[in-house]
């Protein structure tokens, strides 16, 4: 008997290789997934200009990152996590702002982007990414985090708008069938949280954000979907070394701990030989 509904995720022909460079932009859910990429020693840049929730702000971030980082970062994968279609517009300029910077609320007005507007911003973001790296893969996700301040019905309408916009962009790309065919993908984190992990035990104490256990599960499904066999082997090889490096000794100056660290660093050297792309990240 099945006691929960498992979200079916189509197999991806595109696969993440060990230590591929990754750019993650979007909501705080992107922060959680980005942290896991970095814990597993993937060179990941996560929300370089702060957490962004709507498609317009995501486009602004990707455009700024491309200008600032094109000499230092060539993202092979970009994960875009959308949270809402609500934006804040500065009344004086008519421009969508990414951060009100604690200025008076009276200077701004809140409005909702339509499906067409959201799709246009996402389309532009993909174009910028392909100018940055023609071979980049873009994975869209919708954050499962609900927005209490909008009301739960309005929050669902906002998520639906984002889902429809993503579907429009993906369908357009499929019809084009050019050299970038299927370079944009969709990962159903939103659906997994609502269908597979619908019990409140998978939520943080605020009953809105996914718990660490839920994010771990979504991460595991992402690994199953997008990681190559070599990348999954890397995760297995790295796990004991990661645990050893995280060990907190009672006596850091003891001979036993020094021997333990010497052994651990020997394993790090062995991993460098096995995986030439492995360059340990700073904590």
pLDDT in tens, 70-103: 999 999 999 999 999 999 999 999 999 998 888 9
Is the pLDDT score of 14 beyond 80? yes
Residue 216 CA, distance from chain mean position: 13
Look at the block and give the residue holding tokens 């809140």.
Answer: 110
Which of 168, 185, 189, 140 is closest to 7 using CA atoms? 189
| pLDDT score at 177 | 62
How far is it, in rounded angstroms, from Cα 137 to Cα 131?
A: 12
Element (H, E) at 206: none
| pLDDT score at 150 | 83
What value does the mean pLDDT of the chain take?
92
| pLDDT score at 283 | 57
| CATH classification code of 22-227 | 3.40.50.1110
Average confidence (pLDDT) over 261-268: 94
Is the pLDDT score of 236 beyond 50? yes
Is the pLDDT score of 143 beyond 70? yes
Angle between helices 212-226 and 229-245 (to 10 degrees): 140
pLDDT band at 22 (very low <50, low <70, confident <90, very high): very high
| pLDDT score at 9 | 95
Average confidence (pLDDT) over 55-80: 96
pLDDT tens string 27-49: 988 999 999 999 999 999 999 99
| pLDDT score at 180 | 47
| pLDDT score at 253 | 86
Q: Which DSSP string do the residues of 77-130 spell out, in sequence order?
A: EEEEEE--SEEEEETTT--EES--TT--GGGEEEEE--HHHHHHHHHHHHHHHH
Contact 277, 18 (CB under 8 A): yes
**Number of helices (H) and strands (E), helices first, in the chain?**
8, 8
pLDDT tens string 163-221: 999 999 999 988 776 544 568 999 999 999 999 998 999 999 999 889 999 999 999 99
Sign for the pseudo-dihedral over CA of 72, 130, 28, 86:
positive
| pLDDT score at 249 | 83
Average confidence (pLDDT) over 273-278: 93
Q: What percent of the chain has pLDDT over 70?
A: 97
| pLDDT score at 126 | 97
Supply angle C-alpha 131, 132, 137, rounded to 5: 90
Average confidence (pLDDT) over 12-20: 95
pTM assigned to the model: 0.93
* Spans of all domains in the chain: 22-227, 229-283
């Amino acid at each position: 008997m099945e006691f929960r509904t498992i979200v079916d995720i189509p197999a991806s022909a595109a696969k993440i290789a060990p230590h591929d460079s990754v750019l993650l932009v979007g909501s705080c859910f992107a922060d959680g997934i980005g942290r896991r990429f970095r814990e597993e020693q993937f060179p990941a840049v996560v929300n370089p200009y702060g957490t962004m929730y709507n498609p317009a702000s995501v486009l602004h971030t990707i455009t700024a990152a491309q200008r600032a980082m094109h000499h230092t970062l060539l993202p092979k994968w970009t994960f875009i996590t959308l949270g809402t279609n609500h934006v804040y517009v500065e009344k004086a300029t008519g421009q969508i702002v990414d951060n009100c910077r604690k200025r008076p609320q009276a200077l701004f007005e809140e409005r909702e982007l339509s499906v067409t507007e959201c799709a246009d911003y996402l389309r532009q973001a993909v174009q910028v990414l392909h100018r940055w790296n023609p071979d980049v893969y873009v994975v869209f996700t919708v954050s499962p985090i609900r927005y209490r301040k909008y009301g739960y019905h309005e929050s669902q309408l906002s998520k639906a708008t984002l889902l429809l916009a993503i579907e429009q962009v993906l369908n357009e790309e499929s019809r084009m069938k050019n050299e970038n065919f299927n370079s944009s993908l969709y990962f159903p984190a939103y659906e997994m949280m609502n269908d597979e992990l619908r019990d409140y035990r998978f939520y943080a104490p605020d009953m809105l954000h996914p718990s660490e256990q839920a994010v771990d599960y979504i991460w595991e499904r992402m690994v199953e979907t997008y990681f190559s066999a070599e990348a999954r082997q890397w995760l297995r090889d790295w796990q004991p070394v990661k645990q050893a490096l995280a060990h907190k000794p009672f006596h850091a100056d003891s001979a036993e701990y020094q021997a333990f660290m010497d052994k651990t660093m020997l394993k790090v050297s062995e991993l460098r030989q096995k995986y030439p792309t492995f360059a340990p990240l700073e904590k």
